[in-house]
Structure formats: C-alpha cells, structure tokens
Amino acid sequence: MMPVLSAQALSVIRSGQEVLKDVSFSIAQGEVHALLGGNGAGKSTTLLTFLGFLQPVSGSVHVQGRDVNENPSAARQAIAYLPEAATLYGHLSAYENLRYFLSLAGTDTGRDELDAALDRVALQPEARNIRMQTYSKGMRQKVAIALAILRDTPILLLDEPTSGLDPVAIDEFNRLARDLAEAGRTILLVTHDVYGACHVADRIDLLQNGVLVGAFDRPPGMDRIDTEAVHAAFAQYAAGGP
Ligand SMILES: Nc1ncnc2c1ncn2[C@@H]1O[C@H](COP(=O)(O)OP(=O)(O)O)[C@@H](O)[C@H]1O
Ligand SMILES: [Mg+2]
C-alpha cells in the first residue's frame, strides 16, 4: 500500500546550515509515528517541510503519494497541524477559538461536535465558556489538540503535543491518538519525551542533529515500545556516541 507520508533522502538547509541530512521514512495509513530527538534535532523542520513551508535542497517529501513541492496546497488540505506554540486568542473562550479557527479552515462545526472534541481531550465543561487567558498551559494545549482533531483531516502533524500536559493528561492524549489511528487517521508527532513516544507510537525514529540514527518498532502483540532501549539510545547519541 502507498504510504500516506514519506520522506525520501530529504535534506533541508536553514540559515546556511544543513539541518536535515538524507532523512528517509514512510508512514502507512492508521499508524502513529514518532520522531524523537533533542532540541535542535530538526523535528519541527521536518513537519514544516511536509507542510511545504520549507523546501528540500535535495530529496523529497510526499503526502498521499504527491510531491509536496509540486502541490503544497493539496498537502495542507489533507493535514491538520498542531504547531509547537499554538496561537489561540486569550480574550476568547475555548468555544469561540474553536469556532473562529474552524471557520477560517472552511469548516462549520456545531456545538455538539465541539463538546465531543473537548470531552475527548478532557477539558472540564465549566471552563469552555471562559476566556482562555485564565487557562493553565495544559488547558490551552488541550484546546489546541481539540482543534486539530476537529479539522477532520486524514493526517495529523503534531509538534510536541504533550508539552504542558500533566501525566494523567499525557496518558489520555496517548489513548486518544491511538483511537484516532485505529479509526484510520495517520499521525506524525514529534517529541523529546521518550516515555510518551514509547506509549503512543507504532514506530519511533530517533533524530540527532538532522540525521536519523535509530528506529524502534512496537513489537507485535505488545502495547508499547521498550522505554529503556529507546532511552539508552537517546542518551548515547546525545552524549556524542557511538
Ligand atoms: N527560523 C529558523 N531559521 C533558521 N534556522 C532555524 C530556524 N528554526 C530553527 N532553525 C535551526 O534548525 C535546526 C533544527 O531546528 P528545529 O527543527 O526547530 O529542531 P527541533 O524541533 O528538533 O528542536 C536548529 O539548528 C535550529 O537552530
Ligand atoms: Mg521543535
């Protein structure tokens, strides 16, 4: 089957520096794929390239079999993107933010659907009509995740989706992502959180200084990838080895 997302020998230069070097991976429909790496590894750059906001100097990225460079708007229509610092309006409530951003995306969404998405991210009902400037970081992140889900696109690109979430909310997010994948959505998320990546992903690619240095698959029949093995590899590469 044709992969939904693929990078082929992808290299990207930013400010004169090669920040992605010969990166290749592919993601099938219904998979959760995690790109794991430290600060500056090139995780966010990878997502921006899939959205067509950055161009490869060599290699390519494909979305649903189409070269993003040739048709970035087709790629963007198939993707809901959660940016690293999601910008929602503090003077608007969760409902108002969701309605506003969904209308910009050309989606008309009823109150019941908004509530269903906010239930899925476990944002307490009494907060939903309150201005978001009173929210905690975790509550804001929940609304941003709800917005990505409500776009109802086949593909989700999520940049550090669990940042600001407490451990209980992280577990809930992991279950939600797995449910979405089982329902047929394809998810590429980037994170520096080894534990979270191991619990949510079918496959983890380890990115270090723009280079893929390791890959870990969830063994058949297991509910997670081995955290110790991934942590050891992460720590080894972060220390400059092998
Ligand atoms: N706006 C930018 N302009 C130029 N270089 C950037 C920009 N943003 C990030 N970079 C550089 O690209 C590299 C990868 O960054 P990034 O993809 O944001 O890493 P990560 O998301 O893994 O922390 C880093 O060396 C960073 O300094
Ligand atoms: Mg980043």
Closest listed ligand to the CA of 21: 1
| Contact yes or no for 31/187 (Cβ under 8 A) | yes
pLDDT in tens, 217-227: 999 999 999 99
Half-sphere exposure of 128 (CA within 13 A, CB side): 18
Tell me, using a 6 A CB cutoff, whether residue 37 lines ligand 1.
yes
Q: What is the tens place of the pLDDT at every residue in 38-57?
A: 999 999 999 999 999 999 99
This prediction has a pTM of: 0.95
H or E stretch including 230? helix 227-238
Question: What is the residue whose two structure tokens read 């240095």?
Answer: 213
- Decide: 45 in ligand 1 pocket, CB within 6 A: yes
pLDDT 10s digits, 85-117: 878 999 999 999 999 999 998 888 999 999 999
C-alpha to C-alpha distance for 53 and 48, rounded to whole angstroms: 5
Instruction: Write the residue with the smallest CA distance to atom 12 of ligand 1.
Output: 19
Q: Which domains does the chain have, with CATH numbers?
A: 5-84+154-238 (3.40.50.300)
For residue 179, the CA-to-ligand 2 centroid distance in Å is 25
Task: Give which of 59, 62, 54, 69 is closest to 26, Cα–Cα.
Answer: 62
* pLDDT band at residue 242 using 50, 70 and 90 as cut-offs: low
Other C-beta atoms closer than 10 Å to the C-beta of 115 total 15
